[in-house]
Structure 1
Amino acid sequence: MKIAHFSDLHYSPDRLDEADRCFGFAVDDAIARAAHVAVVSGDSTDHRLDAHSPALGALARQIHRLSAAMPVVMLQGTFSHEPPGTLDIFALMGSQHSVFVASRIQQVAFVGGTFVPSAGAVFSEEELPGIIAMRPEVVFTCVPTINKGQFAASVGALAAATGLGDVLGTYLAAAGQVNAKLRDAGVPTAGISHGTVNGCETEHGVTMAGFDHEFSLSALFDAQCSAFMLGHIHKSQSWERGGHRVGYAGSIGRFHYGEEGDKGYLLWEVDTYTAAMQLVPTPSRRTVCVDFDGVPDMERLARVAGECGDTFVRVRWQIDEEHRQSVDRAAIKALFANAPGLKLEPRILPVVRSRAQGISLETSVDAKLARWCELAGVDAATVVERLQMLDTGEAEAIADAIFNRLDSAPALPSLSLIDGCAPDIQGPPPMPSSPVRCEASPGTGDWLDGDLFAAA
């Protein structure tokens, strides 16, 4: 059984170009590779879309085109991306084959080109013999996004933080008992879900570790599925145990700056006991991130702009608050005027001003000032003297003292460079009939013959 696994399409007005280009390529490739079934494991849209939205129309056309070649299973994703009921309209868009929308926890058998769902969360003891008799090509165990608000209301807020994983683990173990019987009957099994596995990596290389994630790897392998197809994390990754595989397809395109790895869809080969997978890359957009620890280097940015071509560019820098105006944003935008996307991310470092240690412990203004002078390396006696003068003296007396000090200051030296040659400013000098020679003072020697910069 060859299954084309797509995930996290994120169709929206802002991401329509990237999403439709990449998903369109993936649909063409899956059809060309003759996949038997297509799976979309959640977050087909990025948020609520109007029925007449171009993004919703583009997604509907791709699903319709995909269903012309193979049956399609669409799983309910995150409620903030796909509000409940969003996917219901896609069940009406089948072409040669049907589109099945999995919006609740259930098992679904693919039999003769049609989907046969379980009445409850798993095929019951009464249903299972009839399903096995139909010889299904594959049975899916579907675990869409769980409404955590409703779960918290039923078990309490404290238990909800860690209880969801336990509840899902219990369900997967129960489904594993059914899947083991299907496997013994020669029926391939596969799981589909949308959530976070403890220990997985995000598209930015961050490991998701904690107690509030939906799944553990042991719980997923307990489902006894040959392949477990996951959505929600945008980085493609997989785990294997005893021939069984758990894998994220990752997002269909690159929707954020700094995302690691190739983007694409997974092409699964699933049989009764084992599964294999291959990541088929899509033509996702290229991104370039340029970081500066200080003012951006315009020469470096010019080189990047000349080499980046059809690339989305992010420029980040960090700078002190008082120097924030030194960055010419307009010049940076002009360098990347031909880039399809540019994002500027400055990080402004605030100026942190701290009080001198010990000042608050002093009891008088004089002592506080003396303490400040000590920490600042300033002569305290002079500063404290002036503080006392301002505190006790009269304004006129202080001004008179300053003027007297100025009057007693030594006179400035003559502006004339040479003694005896000062010009007469009483009137214009007479035109000499012969060259005027300025004689140096006796004993000084001819100043033109000496070294003006020689040491005395």
Structure 2
Amino acid sequence: MVRIAHFSDLHYGPKNLIEADRCFGAAIDMAMASGVQAAVLSGDSTDHALDLHSPAAERLVAQVRRLADHCPVLLLQGTFSHEPPGTLSIFESLGGRYPVHVADQIGQVALMPNGCWQVSSSWRFDVLPDGLMALFSCVPTVNKAAVAATVGAGAAADALGEHLAFLLAGFAESHRRAQALAVPSIGVSHGTVFGCMSEHGVPMAGFDHEFTTGALFAAEAQAFMLGHIHRHQAWDCEGRHGQQRIAYAGSIGRFHYGEDGDKGWLLWEVDAASAVCALRPTPARRTVDIVFEGKPDLDALRDAVAQQDVAGAFVRVRWTVADEDRHEVNREAIQQALGAAAEVKLEGRIVPVVRTRAAGISQMSSLEQKVTAWAKATDAKAEPLLDCLGELYRAPPHTIAERVLDGEDAFWV
């Protein structure tokens, strides 16, 4: 059996640096205390291209070096918009106690007893290395643009899924040979599984997703460690190849409002016949959403604050108001009510006023005609409006004012 720490979606960058570094640092401490024998980072370690002199790059390099001083590390290429090709190459030169292998091409790598990585010369091993401790099959992010350029944009989604399924099935032979030697086999990839849940609770059911659970299980690896989706979730299969498990570690921290579930890393225990994993939560920031259908009610807001602890939390307040009421929202009072929060984000949705134009109304000679045309255009009753207009013509202003002051039921009520 081999114990593996599975981290994913660190998203180091200026915006996420504090959250990512606090959570990843805590995760490394827990992983080392758990005695893991290897570590896997399954993509999107950076949020975008980073300059080497940036604080985010410095902290990420320092943390990976700290991890490499404890165990061998496997870094997988993630989404190109987050990790441009070549971003991870620097990590192979860290010089830790154990090596860092960057998996930026499809292939297999063997974990050897001395803690070194032995890389296949092609997409898989023809002959497994002698004495290997574990076999990893790596499928980094596939360039969809290259697939589209080859088969056409319309057929790219289906072609990508079919080719990846064919590739995964091709790894099965190596995995069976490893199992015959009582060696654990592990798949590592970065992409979307059809039917998985996003961190906001939305099912991912499009036609352009890379994997299905059937294709992943067909690789016949005991464990399949995935990145890209920020929500931890897992699928199990019990069959003639033993117990198989597919799992997303989820993001290391909470980088967006409205994300469901705990954030953390996975502690895997994998042998030649089974794989189990457990989520180890990190000290991710707490987020709170307070939503108003209309204008924010300060009393309701204070009640919500009294009912839940917002001290140190990141709070987002949302509301929806008509355009003419937008200036009635007291943003300063909302900020004061949430003074104990670490951050307050105010998001107001303004519903614009929609005016219906009555064709030709400007050419009409009398006000009665214009009121009638407007009532027809807006689906309103014209008679009460015309009565009101006639009363305004007949009654002098002081008479109308007296009626209002005396509280009489007048025509305008």
TM-score (norm 2): 0.86
After superposition, the Cα gap between the structure-2 partners of 1:324 and 1:105, relative to the gap in structure 1 and judged at 3 Å, is same
In structure 1, C-alpha distance between the alignment counterparts of 2:85 and 2:228, rounded to whole Å: 16
Aligned to 2:407: none
1:165-184 to structure 2, matched below 5 A, reads 165-184=161-180
1:198–1:209 Cα contact (<8 Å) kept: yes
TM-aligned CA deviation for residue 210 of structure 1? 2.0
1:74-89 to structure 2, matched below 5 A, reads 74-89=75-90
2:222–2:244 Cα contact (<8 Å) kept: yes
SS of the residue corresponding to residue 169 of structure 2 reads helix
Paired AA for residue 282 in structure 1:
T
1:223-372 to structure 2, matched below 5 A, reads 223-242=219-238, 243-305=243-305, 307-355=309-357, 369=370, 370=372, 372=374
Aligned to 1:121: 123
TM-aligned CA deviation for residue 334 of structure 1? 3.2
Aligned to 1:188: 184
After superposition, the Cα gap between the structure-2 partners of 1:376 and 1:208, relative to the gap in structure 1 and judged at 3 Å, is closer
2:310–2:338 Cα contact (<8 Å) kept: no
TM-score (norm 1): 0.78
Paired AA for residue 264 in structure 1:
G
Residues 327-351 of structure 1, C-alpha deviations (whole Å, 9 max, x = no match): 0122222333442222111111122
After superposition, the Cα gap between the structure-2 partners of 1:174 and 1:365, relative to the gap in structure 1 and judged at 3 Å, is farther
1:373–1:380 Cα contact (<8 Å) kept: no
Looking at CA atoms only, which structure, 1 or 2, has the larger radius of gyration?
1
In structure 1, C-alpha distance between the alignment counterparts of 2:384 and 2:303, rounded to whole Å: 54
1:135–1:187 Cα contact (<8 Å) kept: no
SS of the residue corresponding to residue 288 of structure 2 reads strand
In structure 2, C-alpha distance between the alignment counterparts of 1:42 and 1:373, rounded to whole Å: 61
2:152 matched to 1:150? no
TM-aligned CA deviation for residue 155 of structure 1? 1.8
Aligned to 1:62: 63
Aligned to 2:410: none
In structure 2, C-alpha distance between the alignment counterparts of 1:84 and 1:110, rounded to whole Å: 24
In structure 2, C-alpha distance between the alignment counterparts of 1:200 and 1:80, rounded to whole Å: 22
Paired AA for residue 381 in structure 2:
G
In structure 2, C-alpha distance between the alignment counterparts of 1:86 and 1:146, rounded to whole Å: 16
SS of the residue corresponding to residue 66 of structure 1 reads helix
In structure 2, C-alpha distance between the alignment counterparts of 1:348 and 1:354, rounded to whole Å: 19
SS of the residue corresponding to residue 320 of structure 2 reads strand
In structure 1, C-alpha distance between the alignment counterparts of 2:386 and 2:116, rounded to whole Å: 96
In structure 2, C-alpha distance between the alignment counterparts of 1:271 and 1:10, rounded to whole Å: 30
Aligned to 1:216: 212
1:8-157 to structure 2, matched below 5 A, reads 8-112=9-113, 113-124=115-126, 128=127, 131-132=128-129, 134-157=130-153
TM-aligned CA deviation for residue 299 of structure 1? 2.5
In structure 2, C-alpha distance between the alignment counterparts of 1:283 and 1:38, rounded to whole Å: 20
In structure 2, C-alpha distance between the alignment counterparts of 1:310 and 1:227, rounded to whole Å: 37
In structure 2, C-alpha distance between the alignment counterparts of 1:336 and 1:378, rounded to whole Å: 48
SS of the residue corresponding to residue 32 of structure 2 reads helix
1:196–1:232 Cα contact (<8 Å) kept: yes
Paired AA for residue 186 in structure 2:
A
Superposition RMSD in Å? 2.7
SS of the residue corresponding to residue 138 of structure 2 reads strand
2:310–2:340 Cα contact (<8 Å) kept: no
SS of the residue corresponding to residue 206 of structure 1 reads coil
TM-aligned CA deviation for residue 154 of structure 1? 1.7
2:292–2:319 Cα contact (<8 Å) kept: yes
Residues 302-342 of structure 1, C-alpha deviations (whole Å, 9 max, x = no match): 35556311110100001111101100122222333442222
Paired AA for residue 91 in structure 1:
E
Structure 2 gap segments, 5+ residues each: 400-413
Structure 1 gap segments, 5+ residues each: 387-401, 413-456
1:373–1:379 Cα contact (<8 Å) kept: no
TM-aligned CA deviation for residue 377 of structure 1? 2.8
Of 228-237 and 142-151, deviating more is 142-151
2:38–2:72 Cα contact (<8 Å) kept: yes
SS of the residue corresponding to residue 290 of structure 1 reads strand
Paired AA for residue 272 in structure 1:
A
Residues 224-247 of structure 1, C-alpha deviations (whole Å, 9 max, x = no match): 110000000000000000110000
Residues 50-70 of structure 1, C-alpha deviations (whole Å, 9 max, x = no match): 100111111111111111110
Q: How many residues align?
A: 382
Residues 17-37 of structure 1, C-alpha deviations (whole Å, 9 max, x = no match): 111111001000000010000
After superposition, the Cα gap between the structure-2 partners of 1:379 and 1:204, relative to the gap in structure 1 and judged at 3 Å, is closer
SS of the residue corresponding to residue 245 of structure 1 reads strand
Aligned to 1:378: 382
1:268–1:277 Cα contact (<8 Å) kept: yes
In structure 1, C-alpha distance between the alignment counterparts of 2:207 and 2:375, rounded to whole Å: 54
In structure 2, C-alpha distance between the alignment counterparts of 1:254 and 1:50, rounded to whole Å: 24
Q: Which of 1 and 2 has higher RCO (CA within 8 Å, sep 6+)?
A: 2
SS of the residue corresponding to residue 137 of structure 2 reads strand
In structure 2, C-alpha distance between the alignment counterparts of 1:278 and 1:373, rounded to whole Å: 66
Paired AA for residue 323 in structure 2:
E
1:143–1:194 Cα contact (<8 Å) kept: yes
SS of the residue corresponding to residue 179 of structure 2 reads helix
